[in-house]
Structure 1
């Protein structure tokens, strides 16, 4: 059976809205790995990846001269890894810190007062500005704000601590940015960037940031952490669930710090977000990345679908628009049962040259379709001879990955398609990797100072992929590539 035929058969007669993102993604991945859909099989795959991960060494570069740090920047402390996630209790994947988050969300449920945004003057007619009504409904927090069916115009909402915004569903409740809302304004953002906020829950609505209100070729984002659909900056304990984000100028969802640190590898930002769960989110038309993390700890992203970016936050033809990105200074991030389509990178785990790399990332089940680089792990500026070795690009565990037909993209015109790229990262364990392409022989590249990397159980449909190992690699072990049956 051809790869395209198998996917069409799997999805025939089903629609995303009808089955839900969780089931949709699970079906797509389990079409390649049948054991993925059963708890026992999923745990077995995770455990196999973990065994190899624990056996892998890694080395830190020699101690460098003291870094600059201060009120907003600190040293990046690495060296511990989260325990392997597990599916022992259906239907949730267990991660280390979930009980803590559940306790805080339970407090939020029990202690907030239920109100409706309609009681504060909102009119769901798609014409009346409802921003003020939302602000009055939220007050200074301690409110669970119900958003009924209809379309509400907003110019950007600022969410205080101890607040819920609960809609009637992504196909019934719509929040849309006003035509004259400033470009720098996020659709939804926590209220206090530098003091931070706690206990925020967003659920059950579609947010349309509407980047098309700015004419092309004007870029859709104004820089920094501005212009995203939903931004959580310096937030502790948050849940974003059953939300759709359309046409954001920058990111669909950005879990980040209030301030980006670029004082070099080995440093990171203070004012970080922690204990955030992004669940069953769909985002499209994003100017940069669909779902991204920066300088944040303990993030869980599950059952999401990021697809068809606009790339308009970048120059035409140079858009590094990823579906899901674990970026600068992020630590202890778990991705589970997600899907991406038509992006530059499906999943990118990385950092810029002047920041610490994302550290200790787990990927459990991902379906990448027609992304230019299905899986891209790198630390920019720490790849080649003459560059400093990365001291933080360490620790990736990945199990049950599908790369379906990576292809050239107008987003980044000079980028060659790749099923997998590992550069600069150490201690990388990947198990159960399926490459499917009827037309081209795809490439899995381990290169540019990558070390202590093991890839086991590689399968293909269609054209057999090629393994490319760079000269500056160390301790790279790749299993035999087998035809899928």
Structure 2
């Protein structure tokens, strides 16, 4: 069974109407109507030093818009407004490329022979569809130029294995020109094994920045990553990002980000930090994926913020649909570090969280307590059909308590059809939903909680949160 079908099955068991395209459309419209009643946040004003920061590859955040609500096509798939443009331009790529087999350039899929040079010759300067027949191909990391397709024979048949000699910072796949940028890249039907066993068991698995991941797309426009399995990446399974991360303050974003990227049917396990993550990039779609059982080894033991899907610093106009996470610190985390702009304008339609510590965690670090500055960028979350099953303690982050939903610092959040379930024997002090620390303009509709009857407060709304509405709240047990 594909992740698409399994995720649909699990969500339909929780929300029976999820299987109906018509009812799903109606629910999204309900979410949108609620969202439109919420006041928008004030926009950042220009500052005298904005031009100076451009030399540091950053820019002021000027886009405070929210994208149109997603639509549902005839097959029930979620489509953001720009998906047709991506489909059209990637279809044109199919007519541009020459099809070659990596075997014709000397590759041997025996898992021992170093095939790096064979792949480089097959890829050339782009305009190639490189076919990878069944086998295990050892490489020292590959770079893909514009107008390139890398196509395997399926995740059960074709594996790219990172060589023992590869440094810790190596990515299995990335684009050729991070600063210049690349466009029109397709990666499909492969397993990527980062070969974490080449490191000692004690050392952290990442070397910082955007390195040490399975797939990194930095400054890429128009790309599809589809039917991919990533095993034990040192940092991230898939990172859609700018060339560099920005830490020059809230209200600033990195330049040279990615745009129009679709990540579909991706499974990642054993990741050192996050399964799929985004940074300083726009118009992204993540669908039908499964992120589970992180190692957390990119961080100090017990302090690993390892999330299944993390929509991070400076990301804008991101859509998540029909995904699943399990045994992570956070199932979905939408956030930013203190010294960067928060992710803004995220739409979620259908997510199944299982045994994640914090199933849904929305926060802007360092912008939530009384003495902190208010966030200039943490706003705009729309979500429909979110399920949180059995949030539980994890030793990934030893000081964190289980929660189904936490909202901190974010403004203008509308969630419709939210379900959370815990075990009857859980700690009586457990809280399902916590709206806290300067959260503002929040609507939660059609909330259902199961087995939280032992909790002193199933839902906690802090005094520092404002304009919070929780409708149709039911405790079913």
- Could you tell me the TM-score, scaled by structure 2's length? 0.96
Per-residue deviation, 1:62: 7.4
Partner of 2:39: 57
Please identify, of 439-448 and 248-257, the stretch whose mean Cα deviation from structure 2 is larger: 439-448
* In the alignment, structure 1 residue 206 sits paired with structure 2 residue 198: no
SS of the residue 1:202 aligns to: strand
Provide Cα deviations, 1:244-296, integer angstroms capped at 9, x if missing partner. 00000000000000111111111101101000000000000000000000000
Per-residue deviation, 1:64: 7.6
Partner of 1:449: 438
Per-residue deviation, 1:66: 4.0
Q: What aligned pairs does 1:338-357 form with structure 2 within 5 A after superposition?
A: 338-357=323-342
Distance 1:133 1:141 in 2: 14
* In the alignment, structure 1 residue 266 sits paired with structure 2 residue 251: yes
Pairing partner for 1:417 from 394, 402, 410: 402
Unpaired stretches in structure 1, ≥5 consecutive residues: 1-18
Per-residue deviation, 1:461: 2.6
Unpaired stretches in structure 2, ≥5 consecutive residues: none
Does structure 1 retain, via aligned residues, the 8 Å contact 2:431–2:460? no
Please identify, of 338-347 and 432-441, the stretch whose mean Cα deviation from structure 2 is larger: 432-441
* In the alignment, structure 1 residue 459 sits paired with structure 2 residue 448: yes
Provide Cα deviations, 1:451-480, integer angstroms capped at 9, x if missing partner. 000001011233346110111111000124
SS of the residue 2:78 aligns to: coil
Does structure 1 retain, via aligned residues, the 8 Å contact 2:7–2:324? yes
Partner of 1:474: 466
Provide Cα deviations, 1:336-362, integer angstroms capped at 9, x if missing partner. 000000000000000000100001000
Equivalent pairs counted in the alignment come to 467
Distance 2:39 2:419 in 1: 26
Q: What aligned pairs does 1:355-374 form with structure 2 within 5 A after superposition?
A: 355-374=340-359
Distance 1:257 1:58 in 2: 27
Name the Cα RMSD after superposition.
Answer: 1.3
Per-residue deviation, 1:61: 6.9
Partner of 2:308: 323
Does structure 1 retain, via aligned residues, the 8 Å contact 2:432–2:452? no
Please identify, of 145-154 and 464-473, the stretch whose mean Cα deviation from structure 2 is larger: 464-473
- Could you tell me the TM-score, scaled by structure 1's length? 0.94
Provide Cα deviations, 1:401-429, integer angstroms capped at 9, x if missing partner. 00000001010011001100000000000
Does structure 2 retain, via aligned residues, the 8 Å contact 1:67–1:264? no
Runs of 4+ in 1 over 6 A off after TM superposition: none
Distance 1:81 1:276 in 2: 18
Partner of 2:54: 70
Provide Cα deviations, 1:118-175, integer angstroms capped at 9, x if missing partner. 0000000001001111100000000000000010001100001000000000000011
Q: What aligned pairs does 1:271-350 form with structure 2 within 5 A after superposition?
A: 271-350=256-335
Does structure 1 retain, via aligned residues, the 8 Å contact 2:351–2:387? yes
Partner of 1:117: 102
Per-residue deviation, 1:483: 4.1
Pairing partner for 1:431 from 407, 410, 416: 416
